[in-house]
Structure 1
């Protein structure tokens, strides 16, 4: 495929693309580009927020390019300061190793293993001497570091910034130098770090990498970016039925955005769904079911997707669960009794106990037997009280 056509495919749905000219030149100069993604295993699971970038990498692979997946087993011990208002706690080597174990396996749910080279940045960063680090830091200024929004804000708020946090963007940039990356991709919160990579490559007499950023999608709550910290995520390792159920719990106004960034549904088809929803010619729930099937198929396969859909219909639709469920806010430490009381269905604790003994209280169709226990269920879980009282759990 010619460079212009490749550019049109890759540029679609991106936020930053620096620069088109560099991209065309690189395609003309070499057939196979090195496309880099760095991920720090600070937590054990990938979620759909990561899938936005991975789907873009898959496009590169389909065009014949090689993806370099850099597992930041060394940089994870520093902690990426992007978007942070305070210094991250440092992770131990054992924590990082544990978190790294399933990262590659999870990424391969989307990426083609045959077109992916996996590297761990401890391979080169752990070998740097103090003299090497001094040499590295001499190639970037404190003034440039403080141009970064989160550093600048912390400085104005008299919040500390550790030297290790200054080193993080340089360490990530050095990864690009070591593999001679042609392209680096990340979320919009990574723009500063990726641009440091361009600068450092020039310092090492390399052609600067093309920088591409993708949007950060909102989580299942519809407000905050998807994150384990906000408990609004859909993990790659969630079961098919949980993925499907969580997808069905997202607000209607996220349907088109998720389709756009997380599926291979053609643009024209997505546009058609958008118009039909807008003009009330289709129930958003039906479009959401199509989306949920696509996501389960992406993470598992079509057979599991079909089973998850059948399970959802059996549990929820055939039992006439209302579409717009009232939410029950739940705080950490609350008991099952506390939460059921909030529904207002029962007038006394004795009625609640009786209903539990009769098997009339269920969470995600699991029968509740102990009203004294802590309410330890995920955000978005469905609480069923009696035959026709349904509530959606909202963790606060």
Structure 2
């Protein structure tokens, strides 16, 4: 790997400010980006717990920042948290996270890395697993590691503090989590560690531990987390407000277009390379009323879908979206649903995969999000507002659930 000689101030500014929340000791990191670590590329670490087989575009925010470091010649060091995933990460949670088995972790890790390398250059990446060093730990090593932090220091962490004050239990194993993640930085001699803003405490623990083991303290860079489809809470699978990295282009485009207008700037900054000057111009024109926010959102969706697919698929997705929603036409690729006999509408919605549960289906009906086109695309829609509604076998009828989901009834 070749360290890029004399990166420009603009390149460094972009790296350290675009979508960035915090840079610990920014002056030191700027110097390292120019000089390297004794002339060698920096080792830029990311720790990941493979808690699910599917990643969201929220994960890609940090992945893209890793790619920016790589473009300046630095090395990515990714750590598969096959030990910490078995403890469960308490970051940003008011309850303990479900721990996973070793088998679940390994299965998730395989698909995780496949998606990770869609963005990050595999040739500039080292992949490690925590078992490389923690399988060699004994009880004495674990107790020694616990001795580096006090209970009072742990309770300075926001999520622990809230749970303690609310009387919500905190297991001792959860206190181990940031120490294990911090020790990863020691084991890998990390120069820089990246993470979301919810990982700040854990990253600082790694920075504190390294000098104890005779190493220079790592630099820390945290990224702003993008909100999910609700426009309020952090994107996450548990909240069902996410867009999967592997989502089809048309589905991804439609979900991006459903975002509230106020989220557009953060999505542009986190997931595209559109220059800040152009984004400022968008903001100015929208505020004065000379630019329709819908046109800006179309640009945002097209840029992001191109990132995860390609320009041709992004253009096709935009065309399909405009045809379906702006011209009020139904999509042409509606999947068929076999209906042998009349059935309750809630059962149909769940069986067709249009809602995750009966309660979710009932909520959609209550909110007016379910409609029937009894004669297919040529007919007007009829809103279904009763969860006890019985759907008859009407060959060719189209059921719409939410903003973008459709099925065609087949007798």
TM-score band (shorter)? 0.7 to 0.9
Aligned counterparts of 1:272 and 1:333: Cα–Cα separation in 2: 45
CA gap 1:341/1:167 in 2 versus in 1, 3 angstroms = closer
Partner of 2:256: 247
2:173 is aligned to 164
- Two-structure CA RMSD over aligned residues (Å): 2.8
Aligned equivalents of 2:361, 2:150: Cα separation in 1: 55
1:2 is aligned to 2:40: no
Secondary structure in 1 matching 2:170: coil
2:29 to 23, 35, 51: 23
Check 1:339–1:158 CA distance in 2 against 1; reply closer, same or farther (3 A cut).
closer
1:315–1:3 Cα change, 3 Å: closer
Deviations 1:294-337 (A, max 9, x none): 1111112222222222222332233269xxxxxxxx89415979
- State how far apart, in whole Å, the 2-side matches of 1:367 and 1:123 are: 49
Q: Does 1:176 align with 2:185?
A: yes
TM-score (norm 2): 0.81
Q: Residues of 2 paired with 1:165 and 1:269: CA distance?
A: 44
Paired residue total: 363
Give yes or no for contact 1:7–1:20 (8 Å, CA) kept in 2: no
Runs of 4+ deviating beyond 6 Å: 335-338, 347-352
Structure 1 residue 233: Cα displacement = 0.6
8 Å contact 1:355–1:361 — kept in the other structure?
no
> Could you tell me which residue of structure 2 aligns to residue 369 of structure 1?
409
Distance 1:166 1:234, change over 3 A: same
Distance (whole Å) between structure 2 residues aligned to residue 258 and residue 58 of structure 1: 17
Query: Would the alpha carbon gap of residues 311 and 119 (structure 1) be closer, same or farther in structure 2, given more than 3 Å must change?
Result: same
Q: Deviations over 1:323-358 (max 9, x none)?
A: xxxxxxx89415979855864945998998579556
1:311 is paired with a residue whose SS is helix
Contact 1:362–1:368 (CA under 8 A) maintained in structure 2: no
1:49-128 matches, cutoff 5 A: 49-128=58-137
Match of 1:384 in 2: none
Deviation at 1:125, TM superposition (A): 1.6
C-alpha distance in 2 between matches for 1:193 and 1:164: 14
1:312 matched residue in structure 2: 321
| Aligned: 1:238 with 2:247 | yes
Q: Does structure 1 retain, via aligned residues, the 8 Å contact 2:396–2:408?
A: no
